[in-house]
């Protein structure tokens, strides 16, 4: 069993980080929006406080330079990349599909599709196959003002994974299951919301616990 802490949408508010880390996770996933429109360097303090393996993607409210800051840290930047952690394969896609607000890190769905396609070509399948995506899949945990605003490309690749960890839409904290794939939005870590993901010893043995500290 491996217990992974999933955080997202910190938006520059790091006061809840220590109570999260007191849960003693084996690893940490961060699904973007570490800052609130920057500066990118502000994430260094957060990453230095995490003393277990950490895997992150930037969000649409993070400057693109956040990629460089992540890559220079002990955290693994998974934007457009993949890695295996024991029995878990992890792929990542940062930023988001276009929003009405012209935020700092937005990609067209074609760009998201191209990145995911390249990542999946390199991936080595494992017992548990995970995507960390700031943007949710279209139609799943992605409603804003009554409209679905998720990524069509993430949705198109949904069944390539057992678990999709997403964020972006603060009001859509929750867990969904589609075509046997679990999707989780842990909520705003800035407010003390997160999730613990328990990876078991058998395929599809993934339990998700929404938590508040």
Distances (CA, A) of 43 to 3, 40, 115, 167: 23, 6, 24, 18
Per-residue pLDDT at 15: 95
Residue 101, pLDDT above cutoff 90: yes
Question: What's the rounded mean pLDDT across residues 84-112?
Answer: 97
Confidence (pLDDT) at 195 = 98
Tens digits of per-residue pLDDT, 183-193? Answer: 999 999 999 99
Per-residue pLDDT, averaged over 84-113, amounts to: 97
Residue 45 is predicted with a pLDDT of 85
Average pLDDT over residues 2-28: 97
Cα gap 107→77, rounded to integer Å: 17
Q: pTM for this structure?
A: 0.98
Architecture of the CATH domain 2-212: 4-Layer Sandwich (3.60)
For residues 74-94, average pLDDT: 97
* Res. 83: pLDDT tops 90: yes
Mean pLDDT of 189-200: 98
**Residues 131-182: pLDDT tens digits?**
999 999 999 999 999 999 999 999 999 999 999 999 999 999 999 999 999 9
C-alpha 174/C-alpha 87 separation (Å) is 25
pLDDT tens column, 22-77: 999 999 999 999 999 999 999 998 899 999 999 999 999 999 999 999 999 999 99
The CA-CA-CA angle for residues 140, 96, 208, to 5°, reads 45
Alpha-carbon span 26 to 196, nearest angstrom:
10
């Amino acid at each position: 069993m491996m217990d992974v802490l999933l955080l997202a949408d910190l938006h520059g508010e790091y006061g809840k980080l220590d109570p999260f880390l007191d849960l003693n996770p084996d690893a940490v996933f961060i699904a973007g929006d570490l800052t609130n429109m920057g500066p990118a360097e502000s994430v260094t303090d957060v990453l230095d406080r995490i003393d277990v393996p950490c895997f992150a993607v930037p969000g649409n409210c993070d400057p693109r330079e956040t990629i460089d800051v992540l890559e220079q840290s002990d955290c693994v930047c998974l934007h457009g990349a993949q890695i295996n952690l024991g029995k878990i394969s992890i792929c990542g896609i940062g930023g988001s599909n276009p929003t009405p607000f012209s935020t700092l890190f937005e990609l067209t769905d074609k760009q998201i599709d191209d990145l995911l396609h390249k990542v999946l070509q390199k991936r080595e399948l494992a017992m548990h196959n995970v995507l960390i995506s700031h943007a949710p899949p279209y139609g799943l945990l992605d409603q804003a003002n009554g409209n679905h605003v998720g990524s069509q490309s993430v949705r198109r690749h949904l069944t390539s994974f057992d678990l999709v960890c997403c964020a972006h839409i603060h009001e859509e904290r929750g867990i969904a299951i589609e075509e046997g794939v679990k999707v989780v939005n842990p909520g705003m870590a800035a407010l003390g919301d997160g999730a613990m993901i328990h990876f078991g010893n058998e395929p599809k043995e993934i339990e998700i616990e929404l938590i508040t500290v």
